């Protein structure tokens, strides 16, 4: 198969760097175009980017020129990880000009005609793209992935919703500093501290969860009716959002049944063998002190949600801990998997 050329908007940022790294040996996509802000445009990627990953900057991108975020010469398929202040306008301009934008930013996530996708959870929502194109008059289109905190929560909830139904969810997050981009949270604010506020995060987790678990009816998503309450905190962890979750289900399974449902869970990305799909989207650990970001965040190359400490909850019904890699499964890896789903479903032909 001839590889599809792709570009990155926001290539120099935390998520942009993950894209560059994950695209290095991608079997379907070939990275040929990079863009960032005016301060980076015109420089080589090596000059413009303060590379923060532990693996080396791929040789191929080092000498590539960084462009302005303007459509025209960019490839048709664009991964977007732009600063949220500019993401909406730039993504709209690219979609209007005929590009397929697979976005990380929150700007379009809750628009009724924009798919908010986790391919293991709601692959059928990709069908919103047809209506979007028709109704907006764009030659291109926009698909989105959820907030990095929503992903781990919803990956853990989706199998429970399918098997048992869910009434209520309470989630308290401990979110990594890389979730705030680079340079992110000042050292003096986060060192020896927990910050109990992340702007707009709780609202995003609550509304995105309902859209992701919603049903596609007559070409529109009917949000799921479960009640979701999120408490979001920033902690001094490099990568990986840890979440303490309590749920009230509509049925009364045992802890053992819950674990079995999670362990058995497979969906479209696994069936279609999409290149970025984890073989096991949910990994359940039995040790009493796992998952831990330090040891478990790269499970399945950072694409799995790792669950542990599953037990009864005296207030709701069950409680557990979930861990998900925020810049891989919560951002660049999520968008790659979305694009792979779109390719497999014929949206990139």
Ligand X SMILES: NC(=O)c1ccc[n+]([C@@H]2O[C@H](COP(=O)([O-])OP(=O)(O)OC[C@H]3O[C@@H](n4cnc5c(N)ncnc54)[C@H](OP(=O)(O)O)[C@@H]3O)[C@@H](O)[C@H]2O)c1
Closer CB to ligand X, 69 or 141, in the complex: 69
Q: Which residue stretch of 81-89, 113-121, 206-214, 314-322 sits at the interface with ligand X (rule: CB under 6 A)? A: 81-89
Does 148 contact ligand X by CB under 6 A? Answer: yes
- Helix extents (H) in the chain: 14-23, 45-48, 59-62, 84-96, 128-136, 148-163, 187-190, 201-212, 255-264, 268-271, 293-296, 333-344
122 touches ligand X by CB under 6 A: no
**Residue number with CB closer to ligand X (22 or 148):** 148
Taking the complex as a whole, the smallest distance from the CB of residue 318 to ligand X amounts, in Å, to 27
**37 counts as binding ligand X under rule CB under 6 A:** yes
Question: Which 253-282 residues touch ligand X, going by CB under 6 A?
Answer: none
Among 122, 173, 178, 321, binds ligand X (CB under 6 A): 178
Answer yes or no: are the C-beta atoms of 153 and 205 closer than 8 Å.
yes
Of 75-83, 126-134, 252-260, 310-318: span binding ligand X (CB under 6 A): 75-83
Note whether 84 binds ligand X by CB under 6 A. Answer: yes
State the CB neighbour count (10 A cutoff) for residue 192: 6
In the complex, minimum distance from the CB of residue 248 to ligand X, in angstroms, rounded to a whole number: 28
**In sequence order, what are the residues at sequence separation of 6 or more whose Cβ sits closer than 8 angstroms to the Cβ of residue 26?**
3, 275, 336
Q: Residue 261 CB, nearest distance to ligand X (Å)? A: 27
Instruction: Verify binding: residue 86, ligand X, rule CB under 6 A.
Output: yes
Instruction: Tell me the C-alpha distance between 177 and 185, whole Å.
Output: 7
The answer to whether the bond into 183 is cis (omega within 30° of 0) is: yes
Burial of 56 by CB count in 10 Å (0-12 exposed, 13-18 middle, 19+ buried)?
exposed
- Residue 271 burial by CB count (10 A; 0-12/13-18/19+): exposed, middle or buried? exposed
Q: Does position 330 bind ligand X by CB under 6 A?
A: yes
Q: Which stretch binds ligand X (CB under 6 A): 19-27, 229-237, 292-300, 323-331?
A: 323-331
Residues designated as active site: 148, 241
C-alpha to C-alpha distance for 102 and 33, rounded to whole angstroms: 15
**CB atoms < 10 A from the CB of 289, how many?**
10
Among 61, 77, 99, 104, binds ligand X (CB under 6 A): 104
The site for ligand X (CB under 6 A) is made up of 10-16, 36-37, 39-40, 69, 81-84, 86-87, 104-105, 148, 178-179, 181-182, 326-327, 330-331
């Amino acid at each position: 198969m001839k590889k599809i050329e792709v570009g990155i908007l926001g290539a120099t940022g935390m998520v942009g760097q993950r894209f560059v790294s994950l695209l290095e040996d991608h079997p379907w996509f070939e990275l040929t175009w990079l863009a960032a802000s005016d301060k980076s445009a015109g420089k080589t990627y090596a000059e413009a980017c303060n590379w923060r990953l532990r693996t080396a900057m791929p040789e191929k991108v080092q000498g590539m020129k960084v462009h302005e975020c303007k459509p025209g010469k960019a490839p048709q398929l664009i991964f977007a990880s732009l600063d949220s202040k500019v993401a909406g306008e730039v993504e709209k301009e690219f979609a209007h000009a005929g590009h397929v934008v697979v976005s990380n930013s929150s700007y379009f996530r809750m628009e009724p005609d924009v798919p908010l996708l986790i391919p293991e959870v709601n692959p059928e929502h990709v069908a919103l793209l047809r209506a979007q194109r028709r109704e907006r008059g764009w030659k291109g289109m926009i698909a989105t992935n959820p907030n990095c905190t929503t992903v781990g929560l919803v990956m853990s909830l989706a199998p429970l919703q399918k098997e048992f139904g869910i009434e209520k969810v309470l989630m308290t997050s401990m979110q990594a500093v890389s979730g705030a981009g680079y340079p992110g949270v000042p050292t003096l604010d986060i060192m020896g501290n927990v910050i109990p506020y992340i702007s707009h995060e709780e609202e995003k987790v609550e509304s995105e969860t309902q859209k992701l678990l919603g049903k596609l009816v007559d070409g529109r998503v009917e949000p799921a009716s479960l009640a979701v309450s999120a408490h979001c905190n920033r902690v001094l962890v490099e990568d990986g959002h840890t979440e303490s979750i309590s749920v009230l289900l509509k049925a009364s399974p045992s802890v053992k049944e819950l674990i079995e449902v999670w362990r058995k869970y497979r969906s479209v990305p696994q069936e279609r063998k999409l290149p970025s799909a984890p073989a096991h989207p949910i990994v359940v650990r039995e040790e009493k002190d796992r998952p831990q970001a330090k040891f478990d965040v790269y499970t399945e190359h950072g694409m799995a949600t790792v669950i542990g400490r599953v037990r009864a909850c005296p207030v709701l019904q069950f409680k557990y801990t979930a861990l998900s890699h925020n810049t891989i499964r919560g951002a660049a890896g999520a968008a790659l998997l979305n694009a792979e789903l779109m390719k497999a479903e014929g949206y990139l032909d």
